[in-house]
A = this chain, B = another copy of it.
Amino acid sequence: MTVSRPARPASRTRRPRTADDRRTEIVLRASELFDDVGYHLTSMDDIARAVGLAKPTLYHYFPSKDSILLAIHEEFISILLGRQRQRLERDDRDVSDLLLDVMVDICDLMRTHRGYVRVFFEHHRELPDASRREALAARDAYFDSVRGLFERGRTEGLVTGDPMLSSMALFGMCNWAYQWYDPRGTLTSLDVARYFHRVLLHGVGATPSRP
């Protein structure tokens, strides 16, 4: 049952929002514009208009479009890294389950942060060097933690093959979903993640190995 809330008092709208709220809103609106219109065709003027801020105020939060791109990346990579670290600290799941968790997290981003992901995948090369290094270091940390799962799986005799290439297979299947996955369709992001996890672990061949 939905309980209807009382109308918001007029004074409430005038209460200044926190700087964090503002930043979050700017990043969200900018990512929508980048996704709809394209990163290069979106100006700081467009972003200021979309958020309802004067341009100098926008520049107070983000000195450049690049810095918004970096914040977009920080937001989704910190979600991925945070969830992965929590799981690894708990240490109550085997490698196969941990790989499924990673794949579920990434595929779910295609639902919750689709524009963010696309913008970052397609424009990280254009970040200024210092920001790019920082963004790539976070991606590398995530990649390494996933590769570490394949290494651990190999040590435990649960997984075969090359950890680097297996990680690229995992990321390829899941990341590419930003090009085709439509959250409004019949497949949930969980269906997709589970299917790819099955491919990754067992493949689609009907026979266990080639003659």
Contacts and interface: CB of A to CB of B under 8 A. Distances in A.
Nearest to A163: B204
Chain A interface main SS type: helix
Interface string A198-211: 11111111111110
Interface stretch (A1-9, A68-76, A152-160): A152-160
A166 B198 CA distance: 10
Interface residues of A, number: 46
Nearest to A162: B195
Interface centre among A195, A202, A209 (most CB of B within 10 A): A202
A183 to B, nearest CB: 15
A205 B96 contact: yes
Contacts of A173: 168-169, 172-173, 176
Contacts of A142: none
Interface string A175-211: 1110110000001000010011011111111111110
B201 A161 contact: no
Contact of A195 (B38, B40, B161): B161
A110 B202 CA distance: 26
Given A38-B40, A38-B126, A175-B179, 6 more contacts: A150-B204, A161-B195, A161-B199, A161-B204, A173-B176, A198-B203
Interface of A: 38, 40-41, 96, 121-122, 125-126, 150, 153, 157-162, 165-166, 168-169, 171-177, 179-180, 187, 192, 195-196, 198-210
